[in-house]
Amino acid sequence: MKSEHIPKATIGRLAVYIQVLENLLRDGNDVISSEKLARACSVNSSQIRKDLAYFGEFGVRGVGYYVQELITSIKQSLGIDRVWKCALIGVGNMGTALLRHHDFERRGFHIAAAFDCDPDKIGREFEDLEIVCPTHLKEQAPEMGLEIGIITTPPDRAQRAANHLVDANIRGIINFAPARINVPAHIPVEYVDFFDHLYAIAFQITLGSD
44 among annotated binding-site residues: no
What would the DSSP string read from start to end of 166-210? Answer: HHTT-SEEEE-SSS-----TTS-EEE--HHHHHHHHHHHHHHHH-
91 among annotated binding-site residues: yes
CB within 8 Å of 106: residues ≥ 6 apart: none
Compute the distance between CA of residue 183 and CA of residue 189 in angstroms, rounded to an integer. Answer: 8
CA R_g for the chain: 20
Chain centroid to CA 31: how far? 27
Nearest to 113 by CA among 93, 130, 96: 130
28 among annotated binding-site residues: no
95 among annotated binding-site residues: yes
Q: What is the dihedral of CA 182, 185, 188, 193, to 10 degrees?
A: 30
- Annotation: binding site for NAD(+): 90-95
Query: Could you tell me which residues are annotated as the binding site?
Result: 90-95
